[in-house]
Structure 1
Amino acid sequence: MNNIDSHQKSSNFIIEKLKKYLSMNNKTLLHFFVIVGTSQTIYSVVALREVLYEPFRSVLGTSNAAFGTLFGLVGIVQIFGYLAFGWLQDKVNIRSLLTIDLLGYGICALIMSSIPNLPYSVLVIIFCLFGFFGDAIYWPTVQKSIKGVSHPDKQATVFGFMEAWRGVSGIILNSLGIIIYAVLGNVLFGMRVAMSFNSLLMILFAFVVWKYIPNNFLKDTIQNSKKKITLKQDKENILLSLKNPVVWLTGISASCIYAVFTGVTTYFVPFLQNTYALPVAMVGIFGVINGQVTRMITSALSGVISDGKFKNSASWMAICYGLIACVFVAILIIPRKSAFLFVMVPLMLLVSIFCYFIRGIYYAPIGEAKIPNEYSATAMSIASFIGYSPNFWSFTLFGYLLDKYPKSLSYKYIFIILLVLSFLGIITNIINSHLISREIQKKG
């Protein structure tokens, strides 16, 4: 009994600390963890490409360019979906949206994972549905939900902790995928089982959402009750969002880091394999560290640094972009010889660390600029439309470069593109920091 009491006290102590750290009560903390749980589970199948890129591509039976095109299709549906459906996020029941997204994505992923030799046309349809269920009507809902359960002065902290917790979930899910793949031995069969396992988890989590997210979630904080929003008000909300420069600058900054993130999670492992002879035994380990461990450690820390040491998150992001640019310059200079593997691996991990510093808080400026809750999801949708636009072109462009040019040259082009985007990130965040500071002073 003493051990049970001791564990209970420890659990209560941790919960109380979390509530204080995030400025939440028991109810909002539960809702926070369920929503964050969906935000990693729904991407658990496609996230396997971060650690098992070649087996994933083999399951689909595509070239690098065709593989990139499929993810580009996700981006097309995603970015136009934000504009088409973003305003609905401020009107439609959140529990229903999240449940439908998880079920729809999970079923599509299960079909892709379990049925061999699917025609490319079918893969095109499936990846378009991924964009619909996993991004267009999903991600703005998650952002709205996290913003809604967060205290205005804790936006960066809560968004950062969300990314950190997604990192923990990602480590678990990717590690399970690697274990299943390794134990079963056969490349295609093992990968299919790993992907199918994560698809079933996604479907299971839909029922978790339905059970623990109330039907009236956020209605008491986001909308004034029983008044219906008219079409005229919808148009006004969209115009107000479009006129706000913070929304645009936040989106541009997010798009820069998302493109860098694409390179970090998808191409760093094959780059080290092809250029620096990264041992096969280290591929999965580096993939997990690069894609999830760095996220887990840095994202929550980023929110704390931003809220505690800087006047707003844009100031902190400008510094992080500067550090990323410095590392990319070093990567471009270092000789392409296997003897330099011990130098390149830490540099790659540094890019991941700075990348997750930004990803942990890249939409926090929307909350810091005091954008009203009545059209916050609309603002998030527009920022997300811009922010995730690299999905429209990055995978296709990088895949094209890898197929067209020798590996050493293609990776050089990729890193130059990411360096230019890092400089753009510095500029947009310097401007955004000034605008947010002015808005805070104006509204007190």
Structure 2
Amino acid sequence: MRPKKAGLDKKWISFGTLVLGAGTIYKLGFLKDAFYVPMQDFMGLSHTQIGAAMSVAGLISTFGFLASIYLTDRVSKKIMIPLALLGICLCGLWLSTFPSYTSFLLIYCLLAVCADMLYWPTMLKTVRLLGTREEQGRMFGIMEAGRGLVDTLVAFCALGIFSALGSTAEGLRAAILFYAAVPGVIGVVMYFLLEPDAKQDKTAQSESVSKNQQAWQGAVQALKNKNIWLVSCNIFLVYSVYCGITYFIPFLNEAYALPAALVGVYGIINQYGLKMVGGPIGGLISDKVLHSPTKYLRVGFLATGVVLAAFAYLPHEALGIWAGIVISLVISACVYSMRAVFFAPMDEVNVPREITGSAMSMASFVGYLPGAFMYAVYGSILDSHAGIAGYQIVFTVMAVFALLGILLSTYIVKRIHPITK
């Protein structure tokens, strides 16, 4: 019993450290979330320069997900994850020197490579392989909740450091160094915790060739696997709805004149609180009640679509502000719970575990693609349709994505029914 318990302890320690990494690896790339004005004041950056850096990094991330379809199963997680975290650390050290804008752009490109090409798909692969088929919903749900908690704590610590040093340039530098140090330490710890990927090579002489062949074969196999495409498209639909919840704050301001004092509170609950609550709830219902992440996604799409459609055309002028806040938070909670488990169906559709890295990379590329254009689509709708009418169209479009999600989830459930029966 002792070896089994030791293995179980190591599994959860490894999982916990992965969560720590997932909660910190994007902090430097999204430094603007907490330090937008200090970046302008002390690094001499304009709105356009910060926006351009984010756009270029997003483009690199897109191509990074494509490259990771090959890399994630080619390079062992014992190398890939520590390398990504230590790479983030080094980029943070460079960023703390307040470099020129050209160097700033290069740093943001490198941050995207480390986070999205090296870390994220490999982390998803590792989480899947750490859990059994029956644990997938919980593993991904707890991971999302833990990531939200770590994200919040690390951000507040960095803000505390910045404030303690008088909100000066040196305070910003210290906060950046803190953001760099945390993933660096986690990367070193992960190197000793993670086991190397299992080798399938027959001889040492052919090791390099066979690894390349296996990686390419895995990538091709993933691209040809219909079930991976189906799961990826389902993630795409969830993320398309997720992009729309960003506009709840301006909507509440437009429809209910949301007081400025409530904007910050609402934002914290919507961005962090619901992530921490929705993740475990979605995972537990998926595993313990419905015994199927895909069935849970179908239920989530149904609830989200119905409430969105109703919310769009409610008589908002007759409702109180708290009604609008509560309904919008219910929608967000549903979406966050779906987002927490949308990678979990990979086991349910019997994706071979040896191509997990390629499958997760492909799903990340397809699934997160709405982030590259849906904000622009929703924004253009709001710009071209003044007042509540624009938001009604946006919420209707989100409801249509939810409807498509119901149909696709139903098809996937029917496709895997012989497996899950």
Q: TM-score range by the shorter chain?
A: 0.7 to 0.9
* Residue 142 of structure 2: aligned partner: 161
Alignment of 1:33 onto 2:16:
yes
What is the rounded CA distance, in whole Å, between the counterparts of 1:98 and 1:316 in structure 2?
A: 30
Provide the identity percentage.
Answer: 26
Shift in Å at residue 72 of structure 1?
4.7
Shift in Å at residue 286 of structure 1?
1.6
Shift in Å at residue 319 of structure 1?
0.8
Shift in Å at residue 302 of structure 1?
1.4
Alignment partner of 2:361: what SS? helix
Alignment of 1:240 onto 2:218:
no
* Residue 61 of structure 1: aligned partner: 46
TM-score normalised by length of structure 2? 0.83
Alignment partner of 1:213: what SS? helix
Alignment of 1:382 onto 2:362:
yes
Q: Give the number of the structure with larger relative contact order, counting CA–CA contacts within 8 Å between residues 6 or more apart.
A: 1
What is the rounded CA distance, in whole Å, between the counterparts of 2:311 and 2:161 in structure 1?
A: 34
Judged with a 3 Å threshold, the aligned counterparts in structure 2 of structure 1 residues 77 and 231 are, in CA distance, closer, same or farther, namely same
Alignment of 1:88 onto 2:71:
yes
Contact 1:302–1:360 (Cα < 8 Å) also in 2: yes
Judged with a 3 Å threshold, the aligned counterparts in structure 2 of structure 1 residues 111 and 212 are, in CA distance, closer, same or farther, namely closer
Tell me which of 178, 181, 199 is aligned to 1:200.
178
**Paired amino acid for 1:429:** S
Compute the RMSD of aligned alpha carbons.
3.7
Judged with a 3 Å threshold, the aligned counterparts in structure 2 of structure 1 residues 320 and 93 are, in CA distance, closer, same or farther, namely same
What is the rounded CA distance, in whole Å, between the counterparts of 1:336 and 1:111 in structure 2?
A: 50
35-44 vs 272-281, which deviates more? 272-281
* Residue 314 of structure 1: aligned partner: 294
Shift in Å at residue 399 of structure 1?
4.7
Aligned pairs, number? 411
Shift in Å at residue 230 of structure 1?
4.3
Contact 2:29–2:108 (Cα < 8 Å) also in 1: no
What is the rounded CA distance, in whole Å, between the counterparts of 2:182 and 2:96 in structure 1?
A: 16
Shift in Å at residue 171 of structure 1?
3.1
Tell me which of 113, 123, 127 is aligned to 1:132.
113
Alignment partner of 1:317: what SS? helix
Judged with a 3 Å threshold, the aligned counterparts in structure 2 of structure 1 residues 419 and 370 are, in CA distance, closer, same or farther, namely same
Tell me which of 192, 199, 211 is aligned to 1:214.
192
Alignment partner of 1:236: what SS? helix
What is the rounded CA distance, in whole Å, between the counterparts of 2:254 and 2:95 in structure 1?
A: 28
* Residue 265 of structure 2: aligned partner: 285
What is the rounded CA distance, in whole Å, between the counterparts of 1:76 and 1:35 in structure 2?
A: 25
Shift in Å at residue 215 of structure 1?
7.5
Contact 2:82–2:190 (Cα < 8 Å) also in 1: no
What is the rounded CA distance, in whole Å, between the counterparts of 1:113 and 1:255 in structure 2?
A: 35
What is the rounded CA distance, in whole Å, between the counterparts of 1:420 and 1:113 in structure 2?
A: 45
**Paired amino acid for 1:382:** M
Shift in Å at residue 320 of structure 1?
0.2
Judged with a 3 Å threshold, the aligned counterparts in structure 2 of structure 1 residues 196 and 226 are, in CA distance, closer, same or farther, namely farther
* Residue 423 of structure 1: aligned partner: 403
* Residue 349 of structure 2: aligned partner: 369
Residue by residue over 1:160-193, the C-alpha shift from the partner in whole angstroms, topping out at 9 and shown as x without a partner, is 111121122233234446667888997xx69x95
Gaps of 5+ in 1: 1-15
Shift in Å at residue 299 of structure 1?
0.9
Shift in Å at residue 75 of structure 1?
3.7
Tell me which of 66, 77, 83 is aligned to 2:60.
77
Gaps of 5+ in 2: none
TM-score normalised by length of structure 1? 0.79
